[in-house]
Structure 1
Amino acid sequence: MAFIKITLDHQIQLQDFREGFVNIYKDFESNIIPHKGDFISDTCFKDPYEHEVIDVVIDYQQNECGVMLKPIIVEHNEKEFLLQYVEMAELHGWYCPTKECL
């Protein structure tokens, strides 16, 4: 079975969404395509250790699959938290193309 590039997309939101949010991404290859309602675990996640898949988009021409995870909503509105979260996620293989905007 052929492998497909899978990109996880996980949004981290401040308590008041209007105060800020950031999307982090992680790429890998697999022959297993996640489905809506599945749960994904990663070394980046701590309690909860798994996050729900809320959307999947498959591009068969490009052999790619985008997987959106249920957003994390933090309990405060400090934008500095978003940068700290991104930096921690980078230690676990995630990336954030908009990091410089934080």
Structure 2
Amino acid sequence: MKINLMIFISSAIEQEKSISMMKTFEYDIRPVKGDIMDDPGFHNGYEVVKVSINYASNECFVSLHPLASEIEEIKMETYIEKLEAHSWHVVSKEELNSM
């Protein structure tokens, strides 16, 4: 099954600065709400807050707990760069609306 991990990153300091990122991979076990997902790109593990399954396309969309960069004490730009270095990519609002 294709698993699409999604995380929403925002900054209270940088008003109107928010971004959605996604990482996709194949996996036989699907996450469930409450699981803690770990990834080399993460500063910490993140809790799964929502799982949506599309059996027709054999894919699963997994929403992770949103990240407020000030809470993690890491600059938003630095965190995004770290995620991108580990196969995460920015998802546009148009792409989000089509999912």
TM (norm. structure 1) is: 0.77
Alignment: residue pair count: 89
Following TM superposition, by how much is the alpha carbon of 1:12 offset from its aligned partner in structure 2, in angstroms?
0.6
| Cα distance in 2 between the residues matched to 1:16 and 1:61 | 41
> 1:38 corresponds to which residue?
35
| Between 87-96 and 57-66, the greater mean CA deviation after superposition | 87-96
Max Rg structure? 1
| Cα distance in 2 between the residues matched to 1:63 and 1:26 | 16
Following TM superposition, by how much is the alpha carbon of 1:17 offset from its aligned partner in structure 2, in angstroms?
8.3
Aligned residues: CA RMSD: 1.9
Runs of 5+ unmatched residues, structure 1: none
**What do residues 51-93 of structure 1 show as CA deviations (whole Å, max 9, x unaligned)?**
00000000000000000000010229xxxx5444322211111
Following TM superposition, by how much is the alpha carbon of 1:15 offset from its aligned partner in structure 2, in angstroms?
1.9
Is the CA contact (8 Å cut-off) linking 1:5 and 1:63 kept in structure 2?
A: yes
Q: Percent identity?
A: 36
